[in-house]
Amino acid sequence: MSEKKINSQKKTHRRRVWLWLFFVVIIIAGATAWVLYDGGIIGNKAAPNGGFVAENVVPGPVEAKNADDNAQEIRPACAVIEDTLLGQIVDDNNLDASAQAESARIYSVLAQYGCAENAQLFMDMAVRKQQIADGLEAAFSPNSNAMTSIEYLYSDEKICETIERRVLQNINTNAHFYEEFLQNANTYAVLYEYGCKGNKAAYSRAALRELGLAVALMPTDKMTRDEIVTVVEICKNLGVAQAAHLMLQRLKARGYDMEFLLQMESIIHGIR
């Protein structure tokens, strides 16, 4: 009887041992699974096979780059045109008349093909650049048609100030020879036509002073046709004829080409 009791107790003990071992294995397995999941190992392996992905996974920079590329691709065509052409506009301090004229042309293109909200600005800038180009052309090309055929509009005082600042640099304050006085007279005539309205009277007086000195010193028997035309053009721009008449009388006395002088007289008679 005691032996049966002992065997029964042993069986009960073994069952308890196996039961505890089972609980221990379950606990260890659960802890292991939790650690692996928390570390992202299970989630990362499961994702390619359609499993779950950890919530703290952040999209990589490649996706952000693709978004930027897409945004770049859908930029309006007018914005691309503006960015491309605006880089070709020269600064106002550029003394190259052709470069300023090219900038005016570019602004005209932008007014037509740029974004609609900027069209009026580009049109205004095209006019402004063309006015600067015309002023520089007249200043550095004494016989240019720009001096006589373009009616300058003083709608922007900043433009005329820019022209004055640049053109006044051409005045020779130490002039001694008739060529130098003639060049000064032509420069003041340009300022009279293209400078600021408030300074027109002063430029007219200065041009007439320099022109009078030039005509008085001119060796009329050696004057070139270009010099004669320059005097006539200056008188035409200023609306005076006295200096031109004086010069022609001296040229006639020297036996200059009468056919050419008659052409000049017809211009002078038309001066108002």
Q: State whether 134 and 199 are in the same domain.
A: no
What pLDDT shows up at residue 40? 52
Whether 241 is in a domain gets the answer: yes
Is the pLDDT at 88 greater than 80? The verdict is yes
Q: State whether 160 and 182 are in the same domain.
A: no
pLDDT, tens digit, 9 for 90 and up, residues 211-237: 888 878 877 666 788 888 888 888 877
Q: What is the mean pLDDT of residues 203-210?
A: 91
Per-residue HEC secondary structure of the chain comes to: CHHHHHHHHHHHHHHHHHHHHHHHHHHHHHHHHHHHHHCCHHHHHHHHHCCCCCCCCCCCHHHHHHHHHHHHHCCCHHHHHHHHHHCCCCCCCCCCHHHHHHHHHHHHHHHHHCCHHHHHHHHHHHHHHHHHHHHHHHHHCCCCCHHHHCCCCCCCHHHHHHHHHHHHHHCCCCCCCHHHHHHHHHHHHHHHHHCCHHHHHHHHHHHHHHHHHHHHHCCHHHCCHHHHHHHHHHHHHHCCCHHHHHHHHHHHHCCCCHHHHHHHHHHHHCCC
Q: State whether 109 and 189 are in the same domain.
A: no
Residue ending a domain, among 166, 194, 225, is 166
What pLDDT shows up at residue 106? 93
Whether 175 is in a domain gets the answer: yes
Q: State whether 175 and 162 are in the same domain.
A: no
How far is Cα 31 from Cα 8, in angstroms, rounded to an integer? Answer: 35
Q: State whether 82 and 158 are in the same domain.
A: yes
Q: pTM score, two decimals?
A: 0.42
When mean pLDDT is compared over 3-12, 68-77, 254-263, the highest value belongs to 254-263
pLDDT, tens digit, 9 for 90 and up, residues 41-59: 554 554 444 444 545 545 5
Whether 4 is in a domain gets the answer: no
What pLDDT shows up at residue 195? 86
- Helix pair 242-253, 200-217: axis angle to 10 deg: 10
Q: State whether 87 and 138 are in the same domain.
A: yes
pLDDT, tens digit, 9 for 90 and up, residues 99-148: 998 999 999 899 888 898 888 888 888 888 888 888 888 777 655 444 44
Whether 228 is in a domain gets the answer: yes
Q: State whether 142 and 177 are in the same domain.
A: no
Is the pLDDT at 33 greater than 80? The verdict is no
Q: State whether 177 and 145 are in the same domain.
A: no
What pLDDT shows up at residue 141? 65
In this prediction, residue 167 has a pLDDT band, given cuts at 50, 70 and 90, of: confident
Task: Determine what percent of the chain is predicted with pLDDT higher than 90.
Answer: 11
Residue ending a domain, among 145, 166, 187, is 166
Nearest to 229 by CA among 135, 139, 134, 145: 145
Q: State whether 203 and 272 are in the same domain.
A: yes
Distances (CA, A) of 31 to 18, 43, 53, 238: 20, 16, 20, 103
In this prediction, residue 35 has a pLDDT band, given cuts at 50, 70 and 90, of: low
Whether 42 is in a domain gets the answer: yes
Whether 21 is in a domain gets the answer: yes
What pLDDT shows up at residue 145? 44
What pLDDT shows up at residue 151? 44
Q: State whether 238 and 269 are in the same domain.
A: yes
Q: State whether 124 and 148 are in the same domain.
A: yes
**What is the domain range of residue 18?**
12-52
List Cβ neighbours of 53 (8 Å cut-off, separation of 6 or more): 43, 44, 46, 47
Whether 99 is in a domain gets the answer: yes
Distances (CA, A) of 242 to 89, 179, 208, 259, 269: 44, 19, 10, 21, 11
Residue ending a domain, among 166, 184, 199, is 166
Q: What is the mean pLDDT of residues 153-178?
A: 78
**Based on the structure, what is the number of domains in the chain?**
3
Whether 217 is in a domain gets the answer: yes
Q: What is the mean pLDDT of residues 190-196?
A: 87
Q: State whether 149 and 178 are in the same domain.
A: no
In this prediction, residue 172 has a pLDDT band, given cuts at 50, 70 and 90, of: very high
